[in-house]
């Protein structure tokens, strides 16, 4: 009997596993940031994205996938500069590969869902500008909040987005 409170995240959990395998196969040599940071950030952003998706009435699994995969270009190349736009093709290829190999058994990521995830990946680094795209804004906010929670260098525009998350969670602002 299926638990009525079960959160459907089969695709997300497998995608996280595949991303971890991909990251662990890379070297820390000549990277802008250590792989350990990328792995930590991948998992925590995925969880934070799911949490905020509930608050913002978005699909928590799609939010979690976008949170997990938004820095795929850094994992693949080790380069921070332009990793959002440069990640679009990598994310698309990764999700198509997932669909080809695991989609029948675990559920495919639809074309609409892939478009949402790619859009969030492309635009997540532009923290200063705001859009009407709820998933893009979610990943920008989650990315900023996660940096803050991990004690990373936090500029004013990151604090503004961190405060958006704190407000959503009914916590005092910074």
| CA 26 – CA 42 distance, rounded (Å) | 15
- 116-174 residue pLDDT tens: 999 999 999 999 999 999 999 999 999 999 999 999 887 899 999 999 999 999 999 99
Task: Please report where in the chains the tokens 């662990």 appear, as a residue.
Answer: 24
Q: Model-level pTM?
A: 0.95
Q: Which residues contact 96 (CB under 8 A, 6 or more apart)?
A: 114
| CA 122 – CA 91 distance, rounded (Å) | 10
Task: Supply the DSSP symbol for 33.
Answer: S
Neighbours of 129 (CB within 10 A): 9
The pLDDT of 46-67, averaged and rounded, is 97
| CA 145 – CA 124 distance, rounded (Å) | 13
Q: Domains of the chain, with CATH numbers?
A: 10-168 (1.10.3210.10)
**% of the chain with per-residue pLDDT over 90:** 93
Q: Looking at the chain, how many residues does it have?
A: 174
Task: Specify the pLDDT at position 6.
Answer: 81
Task: Specify the pLDDT at position 29.
Answer: 96
- End-to-end CA distance of the chain: give it in Å, rounded: 45
- 102-121 residue pLDDT tens: 999 999 999 999 999 999 99
Task: Specify the pLDDT at position 2.
Answer: 56
């Amino acid at each position: 009997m299926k638990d009525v409170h079960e959160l459907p995240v089969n695709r997300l959990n497998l995608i996280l596993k595949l991303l971890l395998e991909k990251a662990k196969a890379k070297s820390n040599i000549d990277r802008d940031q250590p792989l350990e940071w990328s792995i930590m950030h991948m998992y925590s952003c995925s969880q934070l994205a799911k949490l905020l998706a509930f608050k913002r009435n978005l699909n928590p699994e799609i939010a979690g996938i976008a949170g997990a995969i938004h820095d795929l270009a850094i994992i693949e190349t080790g380069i921070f500069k332009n990793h959002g736009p440069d990640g679009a093709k990598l994310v698309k290829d990764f999700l198509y590969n997932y669909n080809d190999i695991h989609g029948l058994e675990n559920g495919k990521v639809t074309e609409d869902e892939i478009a949402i995830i790619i859009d969030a990946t492309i635009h997540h680094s532009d923290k200063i500008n705001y859009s009407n795209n709820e998933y893009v804004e979610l990943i920008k906010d989650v990315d900023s909040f996660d940096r803050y929670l991990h004690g990373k260098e936090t500029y004013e525009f990151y604090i503004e987005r961190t405060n958006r998350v704190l407000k959503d969670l009914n916590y005092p602002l910074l």
